[in-house]
Amino acid sequence: MNQPQVFTGRDPHDGRPIAVRVENGIIRAVERGPEDDETWLSAGFIDLQINGYGGDDVNAGDVNAETVISLAGKVVATGVTTFLPTLITSSEEQITAALRAIAIARQRSGLVAQVVPYVHVEGPYISAVDGFRGAHPKEYVRPPSLAEFGRWQEASGGLVGMVTLSPHFEGIEEYIAHVIARGVHVSLGHTDATPEQIQKAVDAGARLSTHLGNGTPATLPRHPNVVWTQLAEDRLTVTMIADGQHLPADTLKAMVRAKGVDRSILVSDAVALAGMPPGIYDTAVGGRVELQASGRLSLAGTDYLAGAVLPLKDGVARAARIMGGALGDAVKMGTENPGRFVRGRGVLRVGERADLVRFTMNEAQNTLSIKTVVVAGKEWEEGEPWR
């Protein structure tokens, strides 16, 4: 139906100039490209954890399908071609309302249907202990319920595809096995579980750790602790927030070294104030917060972080610099590695859906400048949001 298109640039993995030929939304060929093209070209970024962006918030009390459609457009503009709207701990009513809104948005908008494969529910089955719980409201933390999981899926047409939980609960293996049997990925996070409890969860099928190194108190036992156990467990792939605020550079580097690049994923964990101008904002959940130009969002007048505000592309740029200029590795942690949890997306390969991003690197500012975003073969253009 549509004309063949060709996108060119350098492959971040080896610097080779490539030309990707696209037809009917599918990659038909990856060939040698023009030598003089200095733009980078990779699979579109994949973000497994987005709460909001540009003022749109999937955790807002009044979230509706239009919120989700608007959010998708803003996220795609940052080079992300697949993302998981992430619902945090809340009442069952609020979680199912948000799931319904996302399901409706996928029906109404072709873009949302393409870029939102499923939803990540982070909580409410997490540690109630301060520090481990992070910013999740304590009143809604509860033990896992298969009945509730069933109601989430019923409300959304089976849209929950990833859950973050703490495996300290009695009988958690049964819950994990049940949801995995239904195609849901289980990630461990906001947890004060013992090494034995983490091991049991992994034996039951948990394969991810959510934003490792965050969702823990400032002070942990030197060892054992949840960070070491998850770093050492080779069956766990870890996600990390690379905004330069949530993990210091040496911590991020040491974690990637410990897990290996293949088991490392970058996420934004962006909140609604991401992409907004610096200033003081009043928020429904966090109260009065201050957003600084550096990308630090804190409770006003304190050192406490109130969420992450940088898009994944900036995390990729930062990780590349921290890892000694390894752009290919950083891109892999933002494309292919998360893609393994989203139906194998995130690779430039013949026969795959044509999700592409062209960008240049601005090392000094820890960011990438996005030149072109392609979702399922269609070029994204600002101001012309295709629905």
What is the SS3 assignment for 201-270? HHHHCCCEECCCCCCCCCCCCCCCCHHHHHHHCCCCEEEEECCCCCCCHHHHHHHHHHHCHHHEEEECCE
When the beta carbons of 8 and 51 are compared against Zn ion, the nearer one is: 51
Q: How far apart are CA 376 and CA 54, in angstroms?
A: 23
What does the block give as tokens for 278? 């610096």
For binding to Zn ion (CB under 5 A), which residues are involved?
215
Per the listing, tokens 């190194």 go with 213
What is the enclosing helix (H) or strand (E) of 26? strand 26-32
Q: How far apart are CA 367 and CA 131, in angstroms?
A: 30
Q: Report in angstroms how near the CB of residue 312 gets to Zn ion at its nearest.
A: 16
Q: What are phi and psi of 121, to 5 degrees?
A: -105, 110
Closest CA to 43 of 363, 371, 331: 331
- Burial (CB count within 10 angstroms: exposed 0-12, middle 13-18, buried 19+), residue 139: exposed
Residue closest to Zn ion when measured from CB atoms: 215
In whole angstroms, the minimum distance from the beta carbon of 280 to Zn ion comes to: 24
CB of 64 to Zn ion, least distance (A): 24
Nearer to Zn ion, 193 or 327 (CB): 193
Nearer to Zn ion, 190 or 263 (CB): 190
Q: How far is the CB of 164 from Zn ion (least distance, A)?
A: 7
Considering the complex, state which of residue 109 and residue 191 has its C-beta at the smaller distance from Zn ion. 191
| Residue nearer to Zn ion on the CB measure, 160 or 356 | 160
What is the phi-psi region of residue 344: left when phi exceeds 0, alpha when psi lies from -120 to 50, beta otherwise?
Answer: left
Residue 31: CB minimum distance to Zn ion, A: 42
Residue 8 or 49 having the CB closest to Zn ion: 49
Taking a C-beta distance cutoff of 8 angstroms, is the pair 194, 221 a contact? no
Smaller CB distance to Zn ion: residue 215 or 338? Answer: 215
CB of residue 29 to Zn ion, shortest distance in Å? 41
Nearer to Zn ion, 79 or 215 (CB): 215
Q: Report phi then psi at 14, rounded to 5.
A: -140, 0
| Count of positions (residues) in the chain | 387
CB of 265 to Zn ion, least distance (A): 14
- Nearest residue to 322 (alpha-carbon basis) of 263, 228, 251, 370: 251
CB of 134 to Zn ion, least distance (A): 5
Q: Find, among 224, 162, 159, 163, the residue nearest to 198 by Cα.
A: 224
